[in-house]
A = this chain, B = another copy of it.
Amino acid sequence: MISERVLKNSEEFWATCIPHLSVDNVIFGFHDTQLKVLLLQINEDRDWILPGGYVRKNENVNDAVKRVLKERTGADNIFLQQFATFGDVNRSEAFFKEYPDDLWHKQRFISTSYYALVDYTTVVPVTDEFSDACKWVNVEEIPNLVMDHTSILKKALEVLREQLIYKPIGYNLLPEEFTLTELQRLYEAILGIKLNRGNFYRRVMKFGILIKSDNVRRGGAHKSPDLYKFDQAKYHESLKSYSW
């Protein structure tokens, strides 16, 4: 089914953007014990897709990705981290096979992809003129995505899990002072597995980037659990010397 909107966009993209290069965003959202991903639905609710777009002729790629996220989702001020570029032949071309060959979207595109991790209660997705829906979807319940977007999402999750080992991922997802239970829930949601509490505690303390706080959290009926915070100075130092 040929969409007039796609044909019109094609003309505009040829005039304003760099052909053959697209950007895609994998936005992970965490809250409480849930890990979700931000997905768009296009073509009258048929197809799920990662929020993505194109790079303007005079725009840095790192800026394009921020603009695209803002345009497609309304989300602003999200720190996006580049994690991979996807460049196989026919990764996206076939999706537009019903269209004329000079359609912008039907050219070969290489996608430079970014991920972010945010508190999903702070981002309210906005459906724009290009999408029929924009939703937070649980990572355990991802529908089929178009083109190679499932591979892009899987790779993003792999990189995020890998970085849990050596970066204080989630620094922006927890209160400034948090309990080890809260930290464990975050790690469990990202890794998709239950962790043994004792092992988790030993492992995470070995990182050497947590400081125990003297404060207590008010309001609970039971004895307040210990609170921790990230040691920012030590973290930055450890990234420099890579803990050697």
Contacts and interface: CB of A to CB of B under 8 A. Distances in A.
A18 B20 CA distance: 7
Copies of this protein in the assembly total 2
Contacts of A61: 85, 87-88, 110
A57 B93 CA distance: 13
A162 B163 CA distance: 10
Contacts of A166: 162, 165-166
A171 B243 CA distance: 21
A21 B162 CA distance: 28
Interface stretch (A36-44, A187-195, A213-221): A187-195
Given A19-B19, A162-B166, A89 B60 contact: yes
B193 A110 contact: no
Contacts of A193: 244
A242 B112 contact: no
Contacts of A20: 18-21
A76 interface: no
28 contacts: A18-B20, A18-B110, A19-B19, A19-B20, A20-B20, A55-B110, A57-B108, A59-B89, A60-B87, A60-B89, A61-B88, A61-B110, A62-B88, A82-B84, A82-B85, A85-B85, A85-B112, A87-B112, A161-B242, A162-B242, A165-B165, A165-B166, A165-B242, A166-B166, A187-B244, A191-B242, A191-B244, A195-B244
A62 B20 CA distance: 16
Interface of A: 18-21, 55, 57-62, 64, 82, 84-85, 87-89, 108, 110, 112, 161-162, 164-166, 187, 191, 193, 195, 199-200, 203, 242-244
A55 B21 CA distance: 13
A88 B59 CA distance: 7
